[in-house]
Amino acid sequence: MTASKKPHQTPKHRRSSRHLKTQASSNSPFRSVLLMMALVATLVVLFVVYQSIYATTGHSEHILTVDKGETYHSLLSKKPWSDAFLSSAFVTKAYVALATDKSLQAGNYQVPAGASLAQMIRILNKGGMATEFSLRIIEGKTVKELYHTLKTTDGVVLKVLTPPADGYSWTDVARDNKAVAQALEIESPNGNLEGMFAPNTYQFSHGTTDLEILRRLYQDQIKILNKAWESRDETLPYQTPYDALIMASIIEKETGVKQERQMVSAVFVNRLRQGMRLQTDPTIIYGMFDRYDGKIYRSNIAEKTDYNTYQIDGLPPTPIALPSAASIKAAMHPADTDVIYFVATGSGGHTFSRTYQEHQKAVAEYRAFMRDRNQ
């Protein structure tokens, strides 16, 4: 009898192995896609982080003002910073939290062109980087020249003055005077603020407004004027401190020699007391305003303007320049002398005379000196 054969059976473990291989083979493309997606996502995150923290911006070099009480986040959320740094607010905030260890210090900071967030944080973290500029207001200059200086000084923010422009005229000055007088609540004859601001060298932070600067200069000048007025010689022919300010401006324009100020003051005070006209050339020049071309002609001397002291009695209606504290003091304390004339020596000073004859002699000496020098 023939033995029956059992049907061939594949071992279970072999069938299972083939199944696993087939499954792994079918999952391989899916895993590759996942890995690729993870890699791309990582690169995107790294790119966003880099762009948010280290990429340069399109900002030019400038001064960044940080107000008191401001935080890093409130600062960076301002326009135009938000456009550059907050494209990914989460990354920016996370970096700021990790990179800063102290509160933000108020002040003004010099920011280089294209500064990244990382650079910005380093600059702000240093603190004490507030930048200042020096503003020199020269005694004897006019309010027109003062305004022009403010308009053209880097670091000054214009708030009340008109923007700088070619051909700045006294008509433009009148418009600026009106705006400044209204902002500072100053009352002056004809709305002219000449002489009302103290010349000196000042230090201001970048971003200071023209109004803040003018307020400081005005307050300084009023303080100087009032203090000098309180200790003045009470026999002076001034009715108000403003009269003394006008006189001080004339003294300022007539001499740059410190030791002569009280003598020049004495000449003009003595003339006022005697009812004589002041007859001082700087008042002619000021009264010509934009017409002055650097020379005084006979027709200018004969022209009657509000400021021409060859043609009017007493003081002009306003100061003619920004007087220094020294000239204000000299106006309040003239030298004890009876001189009523003076003329330049040609070598930097003046000759003072009591009589017209002495004065004529001094004039002749001056002319001779100038002839010899020009030969």
Tell me the per-residue pLDDT of 230-241, one tens digit each, with 9 for 90 and over.
999 999 999 999
Amino acid at 220: D
Per-residue confidence (pLDDT) for residue 3, from 0 to 100: 47
Considering the entire predicted model, what is its pTM? 0.70
The 10s digit of each residue's pLDDT in 266-276 is 999 999 999 99
**More confident position, 70 or 365:** 365
pLDDT of residue 310 exceeding 90, the answer is yes
Q: How many whole angstroms from its chain centre is CA 199? A: 14
Model pLDDT for residues 73-131, shown as the tens digit of each residue = 777 666 555 555 555 566 667 777 776 666 777 777 777 787 777 777 787 877 655 56
Other beta carbons within 10 angstroms of residue 86's beta carbon come to 18
Give per-residue pLDDT as tens, 134-162.
999 999 999 999 999 999 998 899 999 99
Peptide bond into 80 cis (omega under 30): yes
8 vs 278, more confident: 278
Can the peptide bond before residue 323 be classed as cis, meaning omega within 30 degrees of 0? no
CA separation for the pair 40, 38 (Å, rounded): 5
Please state the domain extents for the chain: 62-126, 132-219, 232-374
pLDDT at 1: 45
pLDDT band at 65 (very low <50, low <70, confident <90, very high): confident
CA end-to-end distance (rounded Å), the chain:
159
